[in-house]
Structure 1
């Protein structure tokens, strides 16, 4: 029998090596054999399903309600299972037409080209096809954030929800789409949930795998923002383990929210594993937008891992960070009443975020690969810019 290593299985399944080792130790992978301190895994082994996902799977009655071709036009690239490095090949395979335009707009957005994404999405904001129209509104909303068009972002998401309300919501598929979009809007852009919007958990069985995985990311992100880092991490790792195929874009975002949680829980070694998993999925297709969007929440992991090995990519990620964060804060601060810092450099924000979580200067320095005096300088500069004098007050300006 041919075996693969833990590392090979982790890469093949899009999860961390630690998770594969745990599955082996729990007897969840048939035929896995321990060799010393590691494991040999049958080359034909399939990634086991997580039993915690039972509530999110379709029973026979629900399967009967699904129609062939559901969601064929809704965020086709996000919903695509492809091997890393083949995103453009998938998009090109769609030829021409609205579905191809939406997929290209997605690719533009996730590779950090927001202006091109907005231009393509704008062509289909009034499409007669509800899935094309919803996709266009979603892309238009998020791509306008780094362009500073906050009103356009809000109007686009409100338009998506309005389009769903005007459609027949008697079908479970459209109700599921409403639940997904309303939760994404409330979590990521602070729009108010419609009073009759379905719970996103109830919607999960009716979403296709790619959107379902991204909905798990939204749920995990909401738990993170609520300070429930253990629950958020559980949601992310459950979703990653339960996917039968590789859906690179949702998987990237799930790995990133896991990094956020693990850094909040002060488990940087595991956070590094998740970040590298996300990077292995993203880099072949240049899907770097998510790294820029989440920079401030990743606790210096980009500086510690990406900057030394891929300095040019790191520079582009930081450029995305500045553009996206400027737009996001213009939404977040007024909507929440918080005052997340908007005048710090990325390194100042990272050092201050970790300091707000109780890290010492020496710990921050070791993590970021700089000297303790440099960290002290970052934090002193942050205190001065924020108009405060005590390190303890940094938490008011961080998403810590």
Structure 2
């Protein structure tokens, strides 16, 4: 395989494959000039730091054959890109199939259909079905503006776990994951007795474990520790035995966020294209809309020129999701993230808040410096400030 073929097959960036080859981590890799040839039979090497996220024999023995069969089945599926619907349809007409269909609706940007399906199973006797329904209902209600419904659903998920008669390590792990996700992504108070997400990782199924790494990375990003966040995301991508497309998309996106904060746009572009290659065959565009403001203009620089119609749909998701997210984020954090800027004004202003010049922003976004100046002037006027240095108060920088 070429480096590019190996990167696509393993769901990582070409830069990472190059590094693995240079470090001698891929058996049989041969250097050709500035690149590498990789045996077609080569397996993606696991990260040596991954022991904490791997079940040992004793823990594996505790797992029951049906564990997690009904918990977010699509997110936990290592389907080939382009075959998400095939996987969903293979589940028949059982409640598990409804949950998978609701996931597919949500991740393809159809929040109303996701809410309608999840609503059917909020009181399911199966704790995994009920838990999945609450999670989908919580996140899908954000772009619909039903903030109270989102809060109640996540609180209901935690309550369902606390009152479950099945006290197992797996359910405790799920409680830790949901509690951390709720506090990191929606700023809800974490359950006081919830297990630490690190301790929970070995008991989560692979797909949910990968998404838990995304939540960890996102928390590190919000804390301003961009290098650590990037390390978590890239380690998770490299350490997975198989590619789980939905968690991998989110891990690549958080890597883009970190790399743009670190002013490494070339590497950020690689991660964005990896996410897009995983997402586009199944139209899994929700995550791109959710993260628009944090991606530092990468959607404008990469997706808009090549896929303009997809870009328009992503921006529509951005406006709907961001409106709901800000109604949770701003009161909970005391921040005043701007809600009256266009997506292009927000992007230009965020880069400016990070110290980019108008010329640098223009080159990155593919517009003229005068257009960037116009975006920033409009942003300053809308925000009621006069200095470029004050933009950071209203951004996510």
TM-score by length of 2: 0.99
Q: Residue 349 of structure 2 corresponds to which residue in structure 1? A: 352
Stretch moving more, 145-154 or 169-178: 169-178
Per the TM alignment, residue 169 of structure 1 is displaced from its structure 2 partner at its CA by 6.0
Q: CA RMSD in A?
A: 0.6
Quick check: 1:168–1:174 contact (8 Å CA) kept in 2?
no
Q: Offset of 1:385 from its aligned partner?
A: 0.4
Structure 2 partner of 1:322: 319
Distance 2:379 2:166 in 1: 49
Give the Cα separation in 2 of the matches to 1:230 and 1:200: 20
134-143 or 48-57, larger mean C-alpha shift:
48-57
Select the residue among 13, 31, 34 that pairs with 1:16.
13
Are 1:299 and 1:350, in contact at CA under 8 Å, matched by a contact in 2? yes
Cα offset for 1:170? 3.0
Q: Deviations over 1:246-279 (max 9, x none)?
A: 1100000000000000000000000000000000
Corresponding residue for 1:276? 273
Output one character per residue of 1:348-391: Cα deviation in whole Å (capped at 9) or x when no partner.
Answer: 00000000000000000000000000000000000010011110
Matches of 2:275 and 2:171, distance apart in 1: 30
CA distance in 1, matches of 2:143, 2:9: 33
Q: Deviations over 1:159-184 (max 9, x none)?
A: 00000000146310000000010000
What SS does the aligned partner of 1:399 have? coil
CA separation in 2, counterparts of 1:118 and 1:55? 35
Distance in 2 of aligned mates of 1:264 and 1:378: 20
SS of the residue aligned with 2:26?
coil
Secondary structure of the residue aligned to 1:20 is helix
Q: Deviations over 1:41-93 (max 9, x none)?
A: 00000000001111111112211211112100000000001100000000000
- Cα distance in 1, alignment partners of residues 324 and 390 from structure 2: 24
2-structure distance, mates of 1:183, 1:211 = 13
Query: d(CA) in 1 for partners of 2:49 and 2:296?
Result: 29
Whole-angstrom CA distance in 1 between matches of 2:233 and 2:195 = 21
SS in structure 2 of the partner of residue 90 of structure 1: helix
Aligned residues: 397
The answer to whether the Cα contact below 8 Å between 1:118 and 1:140 also exists between their aligned partners in 2 is yes
Q: SS of 2:373's equivalent? A: helix
| 1:332 corresponding residue in structure 2 | 329
SS of residue matched to 2:304: helix
| Distance in 2, Cα, partners of 1:67 & 1:212 | 17
SS in 1 for 2:305: helix
Determine if contact 1:6/1:21 at 8 Å carries over to the other structure: yes
What's the CA shift for 1:344?
A: 0.2
| TM-score, scaled relative to structure 1 | 0.99
Query: After the TM superposition, which residues 24-43 of structure 1 pair with which residues of structure 2 at under 5 Å, given as runs?
Result: 24-43=21-40
What SS class does the counterpart of residue 238 from structure 2 fall into? helix
Gaps of 5+ in 2: none
Deviates more, 1:262-271 or 1:64-73: 64-73
What SS does the aligned partner of 2:38 have?
strand
Alignment partners' CA distance in 1, 2:143 and 2:299: 19
Q: Is the 8 A contact 1:169 1:175 kept in 2?
A: no
Distance (whole Å) between structure 1 residues aligned to residue 288 and residue 350 of structure 2: 17
Does 2:111 correspond to 1:109?
no
- Most deviating of 160-169 and 145-154: 160-169
TM-superposed deviation, 1:203: 0.3
1:316 Cα deviation from its structure 2 partner: 0.2
- Bigger drift between 60-69 and 351-360 goes to 60-69
Deviation at 1:138, TM superposition (A): 0.2
What is the SS of the residue equivalent to 1:359? coil
Q: State the Cα deviation string for residues 189-228 of structure 1 (Å, max 9, x = none).
A: 1111111000001000000000000000000000000000
Q: Which runs of 4+ in 1 moved over 2 A?
A: none
- Cross-structure match for 1:389: 386
Please state whether the residue corresponding to 2:37 is helix, strand or coil: strand
- CA distance in structure 1 between the partners assigned to 2:330 and 2:269 by the alignment: 30
